[in-house]
């Protein structure tokens, strides 16, 4: 309830927004409220960040304010007031969306490519929007669209206008979406995670554009994000949402410097821990024992062309190697080639001198394991955590039934999934807990090499920090080698002994030639594991 | 049966509730209604000997073309045979024959489809797809005509023709499910964990394929019954004097004007049986892939 | 695009070749001597003079070339097919091609009329149903659909004949192929096939309505009508597919309705030929139908490519953010 002093300065006010999801689908219980009484206000011409983890209800707010909630959601109460106008009852029968949507409140979506009609040219989509609101005829529409696109940094708007969305990159699509929203000259722009699906460069570009245009046009922006850094970079004010309630609301500087709520402090602490250098635990890698050697690996697809263009990589026993690269650079394909999910076209991968291709699947899977980005999708939803971990043990005929259960229990305990959680199934567990199961399952076979393909990128920051700590501890205790694949510089640089930067199917930079970067050298010099603590 | 399945329970707010709940109850109503209908029909059909004392083949010329009455609830046909007895016994014929044909087609289709999906990218898959393409170009009706011309008209030949082309539908579906599953992370995860091919087939692919294939099978069973009836109506399926619904209709057609009741029994039973399967199919489909309906506001 | 088209064309030809081979083998492998099938088995009704029959059989064998190896027979058959020669009817002695060509227009008229009815019903009711998903009219349409889909075409046809021809006298019972006689069989086939199309239109529209681009278009303030158009345009590919398959089913499956309404099309001709055991006719009929099916499948794939810029404009891509 921080409507603040001068309500004149407020462009948009929300009062007492309550939303719940009904249990419409078979077998699903009605859920509790997703938003329980949310009130906030957006200052005229300000950027307000709405910060929250997945499931906090932040997208529900965006959808509720534009009348775009799915039918399973129900608004139980809430008022929306634009400027000095009469408040709209969101729970009422027919809020005047025709008047508000587009014209007064514009919206950006996370995946811009999907937010554009795939079968219409960009020009047609501009024309349609402008003509629907009677803002322009055919010709003026094209001119207006060109003008906006130029403002958004396109040097050849004509070419863009005649393209279909699939011919543009993700970042370009998001800029087109921004232009589409702006062409209707809305007072308020709600941006729902507009940069989360983009790679770092496009992310920065879109954020800069958004900030600049907002200033030029005096736009009021609600910037919804899970990314602390993005919120900090763009906003004047920040609202922190947790489990459908606002826990913090204030100027960005104040909140970042002196968070008042414990949850905000936890978020900031998680970020700090992800950014702080991690002391190397466990034994130093053995530079004389190359475990995995990849030589001139090549792979191309009929669609998408050459994905791997001659990769050389060595991972020693006990070493943590990072591969850093944007989405689409080929790093996941590399991981899939190493675990023989894909067959490379050229070059070879050797495991202790033996070609991977010649290893039987069973032996390979015992020695090399992979953890996927989407933990939930990697688990069979019908099995309990315990069954998921015992499954591979049984397939590999390791131990008797009792032993296997004991091993699985101990492993799950070790990854922090204890007690009753062990008999739950993935749909009843959080994404972080699913990733813990996936780690336990991979380690059940006691691999010598663990590949983590973006294993934490889909997680919220607090959980990310926890999983990273867990992986580091397990690595130190068990001494397996790790190949950390990530797009996140912080994670790669902080955790790994060596980091290789990958771009368009090639390594373009290596942080260190051998497995001994500076912090490691320090550890090795001290000569004992005590130095790492 | 609007409030029968307990779905109306949630202590919802008053405003938006009714619309959603009606949809849900409606969906279940279809599935439940279909199951009840099928159960009743099966009871009638397989309990035919207890329901009517008449032999479906016994001719009593003296009692020909009688209108429905106490003696013959659905009347008699031109040979004085009891229409009810013929209709019910005919149902056994139809149900057993189509279930057998479907079982054959389903088994072959699942095996070949999943196998091809697993072997995707190899010559085996390419070959199977070619075969499927060729068989797809044989319209069922045309094949039935050719078989009838070559082998002579009989229900058995008809069923053989059915199995020969119908497995393709299941194979295509199973293959597409398998191909989709192969793209999924959990399939990749199972491979990385060292699962054998058979384990992959049984644990990863089969469970995924069963749902969609079951739905398809339910609908296909309905259309199979329609096809058998149609071909028998043309004289290419079951042969007289066998009491088959389609051939009974063909038989009664000549007396459509004096004795329309001869047509009523078999026609009603065909429609109800197929309706039961279609209702079950739709109900299962809505349950297994409940798409989010759009929220127009 | 051109390359894809040529590739598809080649594939279709290969399928057609395989299909002819299969059809040929089917007829050759079938138990029973084709000559015997044609002339009737000794001892069967109508076959009394065995000596005469044997002479006839030998003559027929000679004429049909059944004494040659199977491969030679297939080659000869293919060679005649390439000259569009489907052989002669045993019953009338006329060319099968001519006989079929005479009757094909009647079948095509019936199928197209039925398809037009199906499309009108499918689009109209499908769109209405999707826009009011969950409402009363949607439920009603669904119920009517499921009942219609459960009704055999010949039962509906019999019912319609009973009402319009017998009770109302609005329909002439004869065997002429005139416009005045077209509407009832067309209506029967149209009604029977409509539920499938309605369901496809409804399901596709609903799934499109759930897509982000529709939500985004709503967020830009576009009205329902526009959104329905977007959704329809984006599901056109699947609707065209179903319509084409429906057309194929109408042409190849019109046997029942043609026979019921005494409509002089190819289906009825084929059925009569079965009764007469005129097997060159059956073979020719099957071949034409198969070719038609393959042609329709090919057409669908090509239309698909035309409808979707992602296929049409493959490879054109502006990747660099600098543009």
**pLDDT tens digits in sequence order for chain C, 323 residues long:** 678 788 889 989 999 998 888 888 887 776 656 666 666 555 555 555 667 777 777 777 777 677 777 788 888 888 888 888 888 887 788 888 999 999 999 999 999 999 999 999 999 999 999 988 878 899 899 999 999 999 999 999 999 988 888 888 888 777 777 888 899 999 999 999 999 999 999 989 988 888 899 999 999 999 888 899 999 999 998 899 899 989 988 988 788 999 999 899 999 999 898 888 787 888 899 999 999 999 998 998 888 888 888 777 765 555 444 43
DSSP C95-164: BHHHHHHHHHHHHHHHHHHHHHHHHHHHHHHHHHHHHTTTSHHHHHHHHHHHHHHTS-HHHHHHHHIIII
Identify the three-state secondary structure at position A279: coil
Q: Rounded distance, CA C254 to CA A345, Å?
A: 52
Give the contacts of B76 (CB within 8 A, at least 6 positions apart). B60, B63, B64, B65, B66, B82, B83
Mutate to test the interface with B, among A19, A26, A66, A377 (most CBs of B within 10 A): A26
Domain C-terminal end among A130, A152, A185: A185
One domain for residues C114 and C72: no
One domain for residues A167 and A138: yes
Task: Tell me which chain A residues have a C-beta less than 8 angstroms from the C-beta of C211.
Answer: 114
Give residue A530's pLDDT: 32
Mutate to test the interface with B, among C33, C40, C134, C150 (most CBs of B within 10 A): C150
C-beta separation of A40 from A246 below 8 A: yes
Q: Do A377 and B292 touch (CB under 8 A)?
A: no
Structural domain that includes position B189: 83-292
Mutate to test the interface with C, among A94, A105, A120 (most CBs of C within 10 A): A120
C-beta separation of A411 from A436 below 8 A: no
Q: Rounded distance, CA B94 to CA B238, Å?
A: 10
Give residue C197's pLDDT: 94
Q: Do C259 and B234 touch (CB under 8 A)?
A: yes
Q: Would residue B51 count as lying in a domain? A: no
Residue B284: pLDDT band by 50, 70, 90 thresholds? confident
What is the distance between the terminal CA atoms of chain B, rounded to a whole angstrom? Answer: 28
Give residue C320's pLDDT: 45
Q: How many other β-carbons are positioned within 10 Å of the β-carbon of residue B114?
A: 25
Of B26, B233, B279, the CB nearest to C154: B233
Give the contacts of B278 (CB within 8 A, at least 6 positions apart). B34, B218, B219, B222, C146, C149, C150
Q: Rounded distance, CA A430 to CA A467, Å?
A: 13
Closest CA to A58 of A301, A294, A238, A283: A238
Q: Would residue C88 count as lying in a domain? A: no
One domain for residues A138 and A227: no
ipTM above 0.90, yes or no: no
Give residue B47's pLDDT: 83
The answer to whether A154 faces chain C, any CB pair under 8 Å, is: yes
Give residue B277's pLDDT: 94
Mean pLDDT for B49-55 is: 81
One domain for residues C51 and C188: no
One domain for residues C70 and C134: no
Q: Do C309 and A103 touch (CB under 8 A)?
A: no
Distance in Å, alpha carbon of A142 to nearest chain C alpha carbon: 17
One domain for residues A354 and A312: yes
Of A30, A94, A378, the CB nearest to B189: A378
Neighbours of chain C (3+ CB pairs under 8 A): A, B
Q: Do B294 and C22 touch (CB under 8 A)?
A: no
- Per residue in B139-183, pLDDT tens? 888 888 888 878 777 888 888 888 888 899 999 999 999 998 888
Domain C-terminal end among C55, C82, C109: C82
One domain for residues A66 and A161: no
Q: Rounded distance, CA C281 to CA A55, Å?
A: 68
The answer to whether A425 faces chain B, any CB pair under 8 Å, is: no
Q: Do C149 and B278 touch (CB under 8 A)?
A: yes
Identify the three-state secondary structure at position A10: strand
Q: Do B149 and C274 touch (CB under 8 A)?
A: yes
One domain for residues A369 and A470: yes
Q: Would residue C96 count as lying in a domain? A: no
One domain for residues C150 and C189: yes
One domain for residues A9 and A149: no
Mutate to test the interface with C, among B150, B260, B285 (most CBs of C within 10 A): B150
Structure letter (DSSP) for residue A101: B
Q: Would residue B36 count as lying in a domain? A: no
Structural domain that includes position C177: 101-322
Give residue A444's pLDDT: 93
Q: Do B142 and C252 touch (CB under 8 A)?
A: yes
Q: Would residue C293 count as lying in a domain? A: yes
Give the contacts of A470 (CB within 8 A, at least 6 positions apart). A415, A416, A436, A439
Q: Rounded distance, CA A484 to CA A321, Å?
A: 6
Distance in Å, alpha carbon of A395 to nearest chain B alpha carbon: 6
Cα dist. A421→A409, A424, A533, B139 in Å? 11, 5, 31, 54
**Position B296 pLDDT exceeds 50:** no
Domain count, chain A: 3
Q: Which CATH number covers residue C218?
A: 1.10.3720.10
Q: Would residue C55 count as lying in a domain? A: yes
Q: Do B138 and C19 touch (CB under 8 A)?
A: yes
Is residue B162 exposed (0-12), middle (13-18) or buried (19+ Cβ within 10 Å)? buried
Q: Would residue A199 count as lying in a domain? A: no
Side-chain half-sphere CA neighbours of A322 within 13 A: 23
β-bridge partners, A56: none
Q: Rounded distance, CA A215 to CA C41, Å?
A: 95
Give residue B171's pLDDT: 93
Domain count, chain B: 1
One domain for residues A301 and A170: no
One domain for residues A17 and A45: yes
One domain for residues C118 and C34: no
One domain for residues C108 and C78: no
Q: Which CATH number covers residue A27?
A: 3.40.50.300
Task: Tell me which chain A residues have a C-beta less than 8 angstroms from the C-beta of B293.
Answer: 71
One domain for residues C150 and C298: yes
Q: Do C323 and A101 touch (CB under 8 A)?
A: no
Q: Would residue C93 count as lying in a domain? A: no
Distance in Å, alpha carbon of C96 to nearest chain B alpha carbon: 16
Domain C-terminal end among A276, A303, A322: A276
Domain count, chain C: 2
One domain for residues C303 and C160: yes
Q: Would residue B30 count as lying in a domain? A: no
C-beta separation of B127 from B86 below 8 A: no
Q: Do C154 and B151 touch (CB under 8 A)?
A: no
Q: Do B139 and C133 touch (CB under 8 A)?
A: no
Q: Rounded distance, CA B194 to CA A366, Å?
A: 8
Q: Would residue B97 count as lying in a domain? A: yes
Q: Would residue B286 count as lying in a domain? A: yes
**Position B2 pLDDT exceeds 80:** no
Give residue C38's pLDDT: 61
Q: Do C210 and B291 touch (CB under 8 A)?
A: yes
In what helix (H) or strand (E) does residue C303 lie, and over which residues does it extend? helix C279-307
pLDDT tens-digit profile, chain A (533 residues): 444 445 568 899 999 999 987 644 433 445 568 888 899 999 999 999 999 888 888 889 999 999 988 877 888 999 999 988 888 999 888 888 888 999 999 999 988 989 999 999 999 999 999 999 988 888 889 999 999 999 998 988 999 999 999 888 888 999 999 999 999 999 999 999 998 888 778 888 899 999 999 999 999 999 999 888 889 889 999 999 998 899 999 999 999 888 989 999 988 888 888 777 766 766 777 777 789 999 998 888 876 678 888 889 989 988 999 998 887 788 888 999 999 888 888 888 888 888 888 888 889 999 999 999 888 889 988 889 999 999 999 888 888 899 999 999 999 999 999 888 999 888 888 888 999 999 999 999 999 999 999 888 888 888 888 898 899 899 989 989 999 998 888 777 778 888 888 888 888 887 753 333 444 433 333 333 333 33
Nearest CA in chain C to A109: C216
Cα dist. A106→A4, A135, A147, C31, C214 in Å? 24, 15, 18, 73, 14
Give residue C146's pLDDT: 92
Q: Rounded distance, CA A130 to CA A471, Å?
A: 52
C-beta separation of A316 from A285 below 8 A: yes
Neighbours of chain A (3+ CB pairs under 8 A): B, C
Q: Which CATH number covers residue B119?
A: 1.10.3720.10
Q: Would residue C183 count as lying in a domain? A: yes
Q: Rounded distance, CA A3 to CA A484, Å?
A: 46
Structural domain that includes position A45: 1-104+186-192+210-276
Q: Do A114 and C211 touch (CB under 8 A)?
A: yes
Give residue A134's pLDDT: 87
Residue C254 in tokens: 């019109």
In what helix (H) or strand (E) does residue A178 lie, and over which residues does it extend? helix A170-182
């Amino acid at each position: 309830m921080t409507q603040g002093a001068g309500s004149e300065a407020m462009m948009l006010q929300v009062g007492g927004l309550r939303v719940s999801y009904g249990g419409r689908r078979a077998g699903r219980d009605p859920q509790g409220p997703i938003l329980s009484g949310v009130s906030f206000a957006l200052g005229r011409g300000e950027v307000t960040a709405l910060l929250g983890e997945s499931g906090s209800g932040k997208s529900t707010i965006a959808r509720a304010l534009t009348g775009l909630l799915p039918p399973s959601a129900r608004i139980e109460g809430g008022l929306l007031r634009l400027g000095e106008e009469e408040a709209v009852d969101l729970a009422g029968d027919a809020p005047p969306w025709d008047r508000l949507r587009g014209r007064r409140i514009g919206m950006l979506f996370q995946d811009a490519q999907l937010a554009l009609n795939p079968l219409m040219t960009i020009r047609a989509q501009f024309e349609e929007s402008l003509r629907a609101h009677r803002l322009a005829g055919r010709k003026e529409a094209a001119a207006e669209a060109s003008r906006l696109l130029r403002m958004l940094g396109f040097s050849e708007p004509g070419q863009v206008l005649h393209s279909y969305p699939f011919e543009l990159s993700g970042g370009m699509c998001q800029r087109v979406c921004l232009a589409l929203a702006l062409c209707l000259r809305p007072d308020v722009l709600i941006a729902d995670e507009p940069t989360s699906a983009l790679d770092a460069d496009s992310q920065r570009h879109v954020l800069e554009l958004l900030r600049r245009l907002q200033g030029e046009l005096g736009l009021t922006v609600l910037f919804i994000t899970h990314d602390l850094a993005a919120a900090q970079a763009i906003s004047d004010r920040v609202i922190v949402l947790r489990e459908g309630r606002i826990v913090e609301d204030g100027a960005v500087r104040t909140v970042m410097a002196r968070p008042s709520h414990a949850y905000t402090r936890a978020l900031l602490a998680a970020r700090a821990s992800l950014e702080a250098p991690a002391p190397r635990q466990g034994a130093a890698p053995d530079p004389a024992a190359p475990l995995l050697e990849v030589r001139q690996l090549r792979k191309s697809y009929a669609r998408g062309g050459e994905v791997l263009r001659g990769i050389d990589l060595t991972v020693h026993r006990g070493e943590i190697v990072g591969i850093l690269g944007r989405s689409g650079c080929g790093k996941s394909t590399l991981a899939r080639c190493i675990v023989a999910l894909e067959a490379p076209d050229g070059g070879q991968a050797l495991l202790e001198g033996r070609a991977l291709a010649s290893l039987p699947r069973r032996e390979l899977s015992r020695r090399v394991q992979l953890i996927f980005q989407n933990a939930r999708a990697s688990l069979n939803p019908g099995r309990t955590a315990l069954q998921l971990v015992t499954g591979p043990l049984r397939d590999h005929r390791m131990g008797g039934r009792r032993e296997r259960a004991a091993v699985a229990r101990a492993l799950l305990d070790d990854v922090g999934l204890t007690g009753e959680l062990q008999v739950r199934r993935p749909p009843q567990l959080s994404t972080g807990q699913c990733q813990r199961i996936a780690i336990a399952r991979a380690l059940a076979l006691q691999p010598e090499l663990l590949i983590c393909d973006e294993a934490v990128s889909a997680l919220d920051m607090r959980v990310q920090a926890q999983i990273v700590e867990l992986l580091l501890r397990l690595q130190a205790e068990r001494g397996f080698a790790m190949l950390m694949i990530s797009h996140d510089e912080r994670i790669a640089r902080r955790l790994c002994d060596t980091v290789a930067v990958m771009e368009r199917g090639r390594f373009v930079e290596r942080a260190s030639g051998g497995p001994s970067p500076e912090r490691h050298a320090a550890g090795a010099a001290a000569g004992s594991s005590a130095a790492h603590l | 049966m609007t409030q029968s399945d307990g779905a109306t329970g949630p202590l919802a707010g008053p405003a938006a509730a009714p619309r959603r709940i009606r949809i849900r109850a409606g969906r279940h109503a279809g599935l439940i209604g279909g199951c009840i209908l099928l159960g009743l029909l099966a009871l009638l059909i397989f309990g035919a000997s207890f329901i009517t004392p008449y032999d479906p083949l016994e001719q009593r010329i003296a009692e020909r073309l009688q209108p429905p009455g106490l003696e013959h609830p659905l009347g008699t046909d031109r040979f004085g045979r009891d229409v009810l007895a013929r209709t019910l016994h005919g149902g056994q014929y139809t149900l057993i024959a189509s279930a057998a044909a479907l079982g054959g087609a389903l088994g072959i289709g699942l095996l070949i489809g999943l196998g091809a999906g697993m072997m995707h990218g190899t010559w085996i898959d390419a070959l199977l797809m070619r075969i499927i393409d060729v068989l797809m170009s044989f319209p069922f009706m045309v094949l039935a005509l050719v078989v009838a011309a070559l082998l002579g008209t009989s229900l058995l030949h008809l069923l053989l023709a059915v199995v020969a082309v119908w497995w393709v539908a299941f194979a295509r579906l199973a293959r597409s499910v398998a191909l989709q599953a192969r793209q999924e992370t959990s399939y990749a995860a199972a491979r990385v964990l060292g699962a054998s091919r058979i384990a992959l087939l049984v644990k990863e692919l089969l469970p995924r394929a069963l749902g969609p294939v079951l739905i398809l099978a339910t609908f296909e069973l309905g259309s199979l019954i329609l096809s058998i009836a149609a071909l028998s109506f043309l004289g290419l399926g079951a042969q007289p004097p066998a009491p088959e619904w389609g051939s009974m209709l063909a038989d009664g057609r000549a007396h459509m004007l004096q004795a329309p009741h001869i047509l009523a029994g078999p026609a009603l039973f065909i429609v109800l049986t197929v309706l039961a399967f279609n209702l079950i199919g739709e109900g299962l489909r809505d349950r297994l892939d409940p798409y989010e309906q759009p929220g127009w506001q | 695009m051109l390359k894809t088209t040529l590739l598809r064309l080649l594939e279709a030809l290969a399928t057609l070749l395989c299909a002819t081979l299969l059809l040929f083998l089917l007829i050759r492998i079938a138990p029973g001597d084709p000559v015997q099938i044609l002339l009737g088995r000794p001892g069967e009704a109508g076959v009394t003079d065995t000596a005469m029959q044997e002479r006839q059989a030998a003559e027929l064998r000679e004429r049909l070339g059944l004494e040659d190896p199977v491969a030679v027979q297939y080659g000869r058959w293919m060679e005649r097919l390439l000259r569009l020669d489907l052989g002669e009817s045993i019953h009338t002695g006329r060319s099968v091609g001519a006989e079929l060509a005479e009757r094909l227009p009647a079948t095509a008229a019936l199928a197209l009329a039925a398809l037009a009815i199906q499309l009108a019903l499918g689009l109209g009711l499908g769109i209405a149903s999707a826009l009011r998903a969950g409402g009363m009219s949607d439920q009603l349409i669904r119920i009517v659909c499921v009942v219609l889909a459960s009704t055999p075409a010949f039962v509906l046809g019999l019912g319609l004949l009973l009402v319009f021809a017998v009770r109302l006298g609005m329909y002439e019972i004869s065997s002429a192929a005139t416009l005045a006689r077209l509407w009832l069989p067309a209506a029967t086939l149209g009604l029977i096939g409509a539920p499938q199309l309605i369901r496809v239109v409804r399901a596709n529209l609903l799934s499109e309505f759930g897509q982000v681009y529709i939500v985004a278009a709503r967020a830009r303030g576009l009205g329902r009508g526009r959104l329905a158009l977007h959704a329809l345009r984006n599901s056109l590919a699947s609707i065209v597919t179903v319509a084409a398959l429906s057309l194929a089913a109408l042409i190849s499956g019109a046997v029942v309705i043609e026979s019921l309404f005494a409509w002089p099309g190819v289906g009825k001709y084929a059925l009569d030929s079965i009764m007469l055991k005129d097997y060159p006719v059956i073979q020719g009929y099957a071949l034409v139908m198969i070719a038609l099916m393959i042609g329709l499948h090919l057409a669908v794939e090509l239309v698909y490519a035309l409808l979707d810029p992602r296929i049409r404009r493959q490879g054109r891509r502006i990747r660099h953010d600098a543009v």
